[in-house]
Structure 1
């Protein structure tokens, strides 16, 4: 049972990390003042996500 619990706990941590990273991307996109900039950031974010790159802080 402990192995199953550890797997579930690990999965929950990964889900939480994913949500946190997703929120960073959303905040970065929404911080743009112009619609054109937001659209450009969406394109960049999709590319970065597919390449598994992180936003630079």
Structure 2
């Protein structure tokens, strides 16, 4: 949302931060990282729990 706000300041001709393009891309990349981490984090935690308790499932019938 912060990257969109920075883009909107340019569209509205409001004062911008120095090197605005850099800050826009930095906040966009940070948001993408947090989204991926939020999705994959619970999967990694589940895998660690399964490994800790030794519950191994076979993929063959």
TM superposition score category, shorter chain reference: 0.3 to 0.5
TM-score (norm 2): 0.46
TM-score normalised to structure 1 length: 0.48
Higher helix share: 1
Q: Which of structures 1 and 2 has the bigger CA Rg?
A: 2
